[in-house]
Amino acid sequence: MTKQVALGSLLIGGNAPVSVQTMYDVPLSDLEPKFASRMEVLKAMGCDVMRISYPDIKEHDQLARAVKECPMPVVADIHFDYRNALDAIKCGVAGLRINPGNIGDRWKTEEVVKAAKDNGLAIRIGLNSGSLPANTKKVSVPKLMTDTALEYISWFENLDFYNTVVSLKASDPDQTFEAYKHFASVSDYPLHLGVTEAGGTVTSCVRTTWTLGRLLEKGIGSTLRYSITGSIEDEVAAGVELLRTLGLRKGGVRIVSCPMCGRKSFDSQSFLAKVQSRLLACKKDICVAIMGCQVNGPGEAKGADIAICGIGKKVFIYKKGEIFCEVGVEEAEDRLFKLIENL
């Protein structure tokens, strides 16, 4: 079992459940007016940690506002300038993500570690295969990543700082897998899992699931992120789905939807896109099916608690396999959620 780290009120590692992270996709200079409500939805969907890039202390007020409004612990992502890390601490973040290799002189990283210790923060040492020190000993990339992380950990431990999480990301899934596996065999610090620069939704989900699924099955990994060139809502949905598929997270709506075929008479794809976030934010432990026709839909959705089967402009809503009501397409979303509420 790994050490346990406290990121604000969230525990990472040890016997804590595996947590899901994402990274805010808007520059702080354009912090959304509806930031708080978007974060509430992401939290309800199962997001546990929000990382926010903090490239410029001119955005101090925006970061402070984000921290105040975010219902999850915020981790400031720091590149190059250690003073941004010191300032982020003043904004109230729960953690920092740094790569000491791009912070510069060792004393700068040490200043950050001391300030994090004084303020009870966690630090993630975030290594990427693209920003490693020179490979003078000509070792494999996974070994170089592990050795580099252990070197930085020794700097932290010299300052009596142990609230550390490590990530070893590469865009190559094999290298990522091997790096995490190797690190876990020599250290008990908790790991944040991810495949970096993994591509769009399809490529990222395939690469990340293949890599992280195998690690998690071996008991490696305490927290994770899907990096998707796409929405952060999808990143959270993918992370939660992986944990649920592996039996590492319970509860919530299990969505079943048909792949659609020539028999479809209802645009189940658009309907699912519209309702997915709301369904994933629901805590009820139920199965909801969205089916594209009324010919095979009800049969294929037999096991679902609620099923929606469209036919032209009409939608039939089934409850436990029996027709519950028939509504127009435009009413279907409202009726679906009312039914879920009352289930």
Q: Which is nearer to ligand SF4, 47 or 258 (CB)?
A: 258
Parallel, antiparallel or unpaired: strands 74-77 and 95-98: parallel
Residue pair 149/125 in contact by the 8 Å Cβ criterion = yes
Look at phi and psi of residue 292 and say left if phi exceeds 0, alpha if psi is from -120 to 50, else beta. Answer: alpha
User: Per CB under 6 A, which of residues 298..337 are in contact with ligand SF4?
Assistant: 300
Strand partners of residue 74: 50
Least spacing, CB of residue 343 vs ligand SF4, in Å: 22
* Contact call for residue 193 and ligand SF4 (CB under 6 A): no
Nearest alpha carbon to residue 115 among 150, 84, 69: 84
* Contact call for residue 201 and ligand SF4 (CB under 6 A): no
Place of tokens 């927290």: 223
Q: What is the DSSP string of 199-230?
A: -SHHHHHHHHHHHHHHHHHTT--SEE----SS
CA distance 5 to 36: 26
Interface with ligand SF4 (CB under 6 A), residue from 136, 154, 261, 330: 261
Interface with ligand SF4 (CB under 6 A), residue from 4, 187, 269, 296: 296
Least spacing, CB of residue 321 vs ligand SF4, in Å: 15
Q: Which is nearer to ligand SF4, 108 or 264 (CB)?
A: 264
Which ranges constitute the DSSP H helices of the chain?
35-45, 60-69, 82-90, 106-118, 141-158, 173-186, 201-217, 232-245, 268-281, 297-300, 329-342
Rg of the chain over Cα atoms, rounded to whole angstroms, equals: 22
Least spacing, CB of residue 315 vs ligand SF4, in Å: 13
Interface with ligand SF4 (CB under 6 A), residue from 73, 95, 239, 292: 292
Interface with ligand SF4 (CB under 6 A), residue from 63, 184, 258, 308: 258
Sign of the CA dihedral running 144, 145, 150, 151: positive
Binding piece for ligand SF4, criterion CB under 6 A, among 19-27, 60-68, 110-118, 261-269: 261-269
String of contacts with ligand SF4 for each residue 207-246, x by CB under 6 A: ----------------------------------------
Q: Which is nearer to ligand SF4, 90 or 263 (CB)?
A: 263
Count of residues that interact with ligand SF4, criterion CB under 6 A = 13
Interface with ligand SF4 (CB under 6 A), residue from 136, 154, 259, 342: 259
Task: Give contact residues for ligand SF4 (rule: CB under 6 A).
Answer: 258-261, 263-264, 291-293, 295-297, 300
